[in-house]
Amino acid sequence: GALGVCGGGGGGGAGAAAVVAAGFGVATPPAGLAVFTGGGGGGGGSVASRPRKVKHLQCPICLKSFSNQWGVTRHMRRHDKSKMTHSCPVCKKKFYERYEVKKHMRKHHPNAV
């Protein structure tokens, strides 16, 4: 997403609190970290429309947006090849998450184990 203030339903700004919630432990963003401040007001749309999650945090490397600290933490592993700790028992391809191995197995090795 683009940098700036996210519109959307309700909620106050997150600002520096979003950075602290992201596990950086500081009240100001580290160099290169873009932080969304959330947005108030907005509304509009029909009653049946689904509310959007406000994405307050961004990856400092690729700028992908996240709505919570766990999303950022899990995503940051993807920028560190040493975190590829799960591997396929058949072809030895490495993955970041165990579910990725399971998905790979179903697609590429359906008759194995």
pTM: 0.46
Query: H or E segment at 27?
Result: none
Q: Where are the beta strands (DSSP E) in 3-107?
A: 57-58, 65-66, 86-87, 94-95
For the ranges 11-15, 28-32, 79-83, the lowest mean pLDDT is seen at 11-15
Residue 22 has pLDDT above 50, yes or no: no
Q: What is the pLDDT of residue 99?
A: 95
Q: What is the pLDDT of residue 109?
A: 97
Distance between CA 21 and CA 61 in Å, rounded? 18
Assign 46 a pLDDT band (cuts: 50, 70, 90): low
More confidently predicted of 105 and 43: 105
